[in-house]
Amino acid sequence: MSFLDRFRRTEVTLKNVEPNRVHNVGVDDITTTIHDKRSEDWVKFAPPKIKPTIKNCRKAANFPTTYGIINNLIMKTISSFIVVGDDQEAVDHIVEMDKIWRLKGKAYECLWKAIVDGEPFYEKIVVDGHHDLRLLAFDGEKALIKKIYDENSQLVGYKQLVVKKSALKNWKGMEFWEDFQEEDIVTVVFDADEISNPRLIEIDGNGQSLVRNVIDIAYYMDSLARMMPSIVFKSANVMVATIGNENRKETKMDKKARDDIADELSNYHRKGVITIPYGIELDVVGDNVLPKIEEYMKSLKSLLFEGLITPESLYSSESSNRSTAQVQLTDPQTGHVLFIEFCQEFLKEWLERDLINPELARIGKEEGSAYISFMTGDADLDTNYLEEDDESEEVGEELDGETITNDR
């Protein structure tokens, strides 16, 4: 056999992928056929119970457990918020402007909106010669915002659809209820550089809401919480009324009498005492053992904590021992601590880029001469507020601990 004959044999098959092969991403890698009539798309087969709209996300965010988790994340993120810099005059100016800006308040508001809504929108404005950020109305239903892109996929502007109300004039001479304002639906146009659109988590160019992923879980927990009073009451409630006994034969009760007894027995806001005529016997159907609702709620709470990137040990010691809880809450390699530091970097970048640096440029100071520091060098994020970094930071005395000079 010649050397060339070895490559002319028809039984030889190449196992590698051909260079010119066309691969349909997201289709060819599915092991089962997508045309199988016996299978269903998961989204169609199990759609969300609650529509993941911004309004519903805001409702879910105000459920007690969800509200507590989100506030814990935000408070830990902004607890060590301070202004530092190389130029003390620039730092003094930003600290003075903070009396107007309320930077911590803006940080709280922005992070809450980013976690719940997915992305907030701020208009860059100038008030009395100073830069500021004004939150725009946006709820995804009545107050709408569009992003406009050019042919090169570059953002060129925004459009806002909002209900605009007229200014209330001569309000001092009006009675309390005489505050009617005319309103109209208007479209407001903004250039790209007139809007600040911070996004904590961005996928495919869109901000992602954390609450959206747990909206059904919050609904189930809220439903169980609402059902608990009636479940407890019904477990010990009278379910059957027997009319007549061996000594007495009662005539048939009319509908009004039956309804009156049913109302008395089903109203768990009453004292639990009811007077009935002789000859009517009340009894309970089944047993009075309470269903273990707390186990269902505990399971749902675990899903809430996981979805909102928070260790359950933060609120309860049942899920872990003390040493495990300490690691989860303070170790910089855990997801909880890293997520808080991620939020801090997000707020730092946003406030410096869209508020602090423009204000510094306005007064002729170099960008970055005053900036935000969260002082996250200590593993314990709860106890590092205004602590001194031995290597690079030195606390300033003249501003009572509010400013720090830092050799960057």
Q: Output the pLDDT for position 405.
A: 40
pTM over 0.85: no
Stretch 40-68: mean pLDDT: 90
Cβ–Cβ under 8 Å, residues 159 and 189: yes
Q: Output the pLDDT for position 43.
A: 83
Q: What percent of the chain has pLDDT over 90?
A: 41
122 phi and psi, to 5 degrees? -120, 140
pLDDT band with cut points at 50, 70 and 90 for residue 384: very low
Structural tokens at position 174: 């009006």
335 phi and psi, to 5 degrees? -65, -35
Locate the domains of the chain by residue range.
49-120+201-224+299-408, 121-197
Nearest by Cα to 107 from 208, 200, 170, 177: 200
**CB atoms inside a 10 Å sphere around CB 91:** 25
Q: Which residues pair with 283 in a beta bridge?
A: 240
Structural tokens at position 86: 């190389």
- Range with the lowest mean pLDDT among 139-148, 248-257, 338-347? 248-257
pLDDT tens, 205-240?
Answer: 889 999 999 999 999 999 988 888 777 776 665 566
- Range with the lowest mean pLDDT among 33-42, 174-183, 281-290, 363-372? 281-290
**Whole-angstrom distance, CA of residue 261 vs CA of residue 276:** 8
Stretch 17-23: mean pLDDT: 62
* Stated length of the chain: 408
**Whole-angstrom distance, CA of residue 108 vs CA of residue 119:** 13
Q: Output the pLDDT for position 379.
A: 46
Structural tokens at position 313: 């040990």
Nearby residues of 69 by Cβ (< 8 Å), 6 or more positions away: 304, 305, 308, 310
Structural tokens at position 46: 């199990």
148 phi and psi, to 5 degrees? -110, 130
Is 345 a residue whose pLDDT tops 80? yes
Helix, strand, coil proportions of the chain in percent (round to 5)?
A: 40, 15, 45
| Element housing 75 (H / E) | helix 64-78
Is 11 a residue whose pLDDT tops 70? no
DSSP output for 27-73: TTT-SS-TT-TT---HHHHS--SS---HHHHHHHHTSHHHHHHHHHH
Cβ–Cβ under 8 Å, residues 355 and 131: yes
pLDDT band with cut points at 50, 70 and 90 for residue 256: confident
Q: Which residues pair with 160 in a beta bridge?
A: 145, 188
pLDDT, the chain, mean? 79
Is 55 a residue whose pLDDT tops 90? yes
Residue environment code for 187-205, b if the CB has 16+ CB neighbours within 10 A, otherwise e: eeebeeeebbbbbbbeeee
Q: Output the pLDDT for position 324.
A: 58
Q: What percent of the chain has pLDDT over 70?
A: 67
pLDDT tens, 347-363?
Answer: 999 999 999 999 999 99
Q: Which residue has the higher pLDDT, 404 or 331?
A: 331
Please state the separation of Cα 274 from the chain's center in Å. Answer: 47
Nearest by Cα to 366 from 111, 34, 90: 90
Stretch 337-350: mean pLDDT: 92
